[in-house]
Amino acid sequence: MTEVLDVTAQRCDGTELVQDRILDAAEELVCTRGIAGFTLDGVARAAGVSKGGLLYHFRSKDSLISGMQRRMASRMADKLREAKAGSEPVLQAFVRHLRRDYERGGRSFAPLLLAREREEPCEELRSLLACIVREGGHGDGKGSTLLLLAALGLMLSSLARLPYPLPEHASDLLDDLEAAAGLVGPP
């Protein structure tokens, strides 16, 4: 599995806790107010820190979005490593993780909505998704790519509050994706 950096260093001065609180607040803000409501002032207020405190940990909006995406990639990589160790197909594990998050409101995938706001793409996230395609299928990876994009599209449509798929259809669609992901494995 491609190694993905953790966004927080192990420190004993509380820095990691503050960074996590800021990242949690940022994700929640994106989910509840959307991209337009995602401001540094709003994140600082929601995290219970001053704007200067936020900027101490994340020097810019781009840095904050990068931190959100890196943490998301790190958490997903951990889940996929666990699945791989247990012989579960990586793509199926990804869809299962997506399902759990979807059922909780999709918060951990909120950083994807901000991808276009970044100056540079998140390399850890790009590497992780490439790894899912590479390890999730066989041959040229087209089947894995289609399933991955379908799963991400379902999550993003929910986060963006698009009118389709209807919530009552999402569970069936996730069932189908998870079943298909289990079938697309190494030969």
Q: Is 2 helix (H, G, I), strand (E, B) or coil?
A: coil
The domain 8-59 is classified under which CATH number: 1.10.10.60, 3.40.50.2300, 3.40.50.2000, 1.10.287.110? 1.10.10.60
CA-based torsion, 76, 140, 122, 31: positive or negative: negative
**The two structure tokens encoding residue 113:** 């909505």
**How far is it, in rounded angstroms, from Cα 182 to Cα 185?**
7
Residues written for the chain = 187
Cβ atoms of 174 and 102 within 8 Å: the answer is yes
Whether the link from the prior residue into 111 is cis, omega within 30° of 0, is: no
State residue 116's pLDDT score: 79
Region class of 117: left (phi > 0), else alpha (psi between -120 and 50), else beta:
alpha
Domain ranges of the chain: 8-59, 68-183
Cβ atoms of 94 and 80 within 8 Å: the answer is yes
The pLDDT profile of the chain, 187 residues, written as one tens digit per residue, is 444 334 334 444 567 899 999 999 999 998 888 888 899 999 999 999 999 999 999 999 999 999 999 999 998 899 888 888 887 778 888 888 888 887 777 777 888 888 878 777 788 888 888 888 888 765 567 888 888 888 888 888 877 777 776 667 777 888 888 788 776 544 4
Region class of 9: left (phi > 0), else alpha (psi between -120 and 50), else beta:
beta
Q: What angle do CA 44, 78, 160 make, to 5 degrees?
A: 50
